[in-house]
Chain A
Amino acid sequence: KQEVTQIPAALSVPEGENLVLNCSFTDSAIYNLQWFRQDPGKGLTSLLLIQSSQREQTSGRLNASLDKSSGRSTLYIAASQPGDSATYLCAVSPFGAGNMLTFGGGTRLMVKP
């Protein structure tokens, strides 16, 4: 059974710092990996989707990398801002499972002004 782990569970950094969020998964037979952002009391917003054949994806100050063979992904946030404060979730789509996502527990990020 696929298991997805995110460490740390919570992170607090000063504004302007570059930071890395980690995601690991136990079964490398994935089709893609997604990073989501969740604001308190809100739904999830997709940030980046990396296909299994890709190594990384970038969107603005966000860069996500994928190392399928080692079962790891990282989300890099450059020059963090208080508006980046949220919970970040990663999720994998196993091969043959379509959109049946397996989620990690999330990392709660707080960026202090």
Chain B
Amino acid sequence: NAGVTQTPKFQVLKTGQSMTLQCAQDMNHEYMSWYRQDPGMGLRLIHYSVGAGITDQGEVPNGYNVSRSTTEDFPLRLLSAAPSQTSVYFCASSPSGNYETQYFGPGTRLLVL
């Protein structure tokens, strides 16, 4: 099993550009989520999904869109990047979303100029 994979590992964007951060898991997990991590701060939840076709907002959803068309994939879209979105983004998954251990991907480091 590859676990949770994320692409790209690093990306530089200009303000206003759009991009999609990819996340995939091969563990047949129903629950997937996106977090961002800023220096000196803990991870903050952006969006999550409890299964294909179902998504919901987390603590900091503004500026981000998600969709979940398959169990395996949970892409995160930035429609118009802003410098405030410079961060490290982590994708995580777990079997059901019921208070269990989550498995994290290696992260995508995003720099918005």
Chain A residues near B (Cβ < 8 Å): 4, 9, 31-32, 34, 36, 41-46, 49, 89, 91, 93, 98-106
Contact = CB atoms under 8 A, between A and B. Distances in A.
Interface in B29-63: 31, 33, 35, 40-45, 48, 50, 58
Nearest to A4: B42
Nearest to A51: B99
Contact of A49 (B35, B41, B98, B101): B101
B87 interface: no
Interface residues of B, number: 27
Given A98-B97, A101-B43, A46 B102 contact: yes
B33 A42 contact: no
A75 B31 CA distance: 27
B5 to A, nearest CB: 10
B48 A44 contact: no
